[in-house]
Chains A and B, each alone.
Chain A
């Protein structure tokens, strides 16, 4: 593997900072709504890029590469955020599947004790601090693959097709993942909030 000289590395990354830092920062700010966090993430992105420079090899454009590093750091940020209280609570996919299966009886219909759950008025909930904190906690219980699908859809606003390519799953499997993720979140919220 060809090792770029330190001078070339330094000059190249310095140019990347000059060319792309503002774009990366704007993106990160939009995704985290925090100046401090966005700045940290962008800084970490360039430092990671610098450290991994030899692996870059111009396979994609520098901009694409930097954005993909940044997006992974954003995902990690949200994962760490929701796991602050509960790093032990993340379920494996098997556990999560077993849990969501318990919601339905053998005919595939809602178990009787699942049928009565009615939530309140939506606008009140979206502004309710406790509801949102509960949601945050519950996101931490999602298995990694389900969390990926959720962040790809709601954070990066990707289309189903793109998410399928990313996760290397069929569209049918994608709907199943989203379905089960929502079921898990719903049950978790009902358990911890009301």
Chain B
């Protein structure tokens, strides 16, 4: 297993590529290196799952069940309050 790691990516590098792969297209060489590493390394496979969980948890944290649609919500009371404070 150690020899394999020496021939290919380290886990440190592989997990960095996992992040890069999440929202950009890896160049072919990196993509293959990452896939090969993940075939051999359970810890990095686990990391990839955890990274996605963390990412989804962060999205949920920031947006809750937020309404993604663009309709502008009117709040006249807020405007009046603000103007009175200027």
Contact = CB atoms under 8 A, between A and B. Distances in A.
Interface of A: 10, 13-14, 17-18, 21-23, 25-26, 29-31, 33, 39, 42-43, 46-47, 50, 78, 104, 107-110, 114-115, 117-119, 122, 125-126, 131-132, 135-136, 139, 150-151, 154-155, 160, 175-176, 178-179, 182-183, 185-186, 189
A190 B67 CA distance: 31
B1 to A, nearest CB: 9
B20 interface: yes
Interface of B: 2, 5-6, 10-13, 15-16, 18-20, 23-24, 42-44, 46-47, 49-68, 71-75, 78-79, 81-83, 85-86
B78 to A, nearest CB: 5
Contacts of B78: 21, 25, 39, 42-43
Given A21-B79, A42-B82, A108-B12, A26 B73 contact: yes
Nearest to A134: B57
A22 B73 CA distance: 6
Nearest to B58: A154
B6 A14 contact: no
Contact of A29 (B42, B62, B73): B73
A147 B65 CA distance: 22
Given A22-B74, A160-B24, A154 B55 contact: yes
B74 A10 contact: no
Contacts of A118: 46
Contacts of A154: 55, 58-59, 61-62
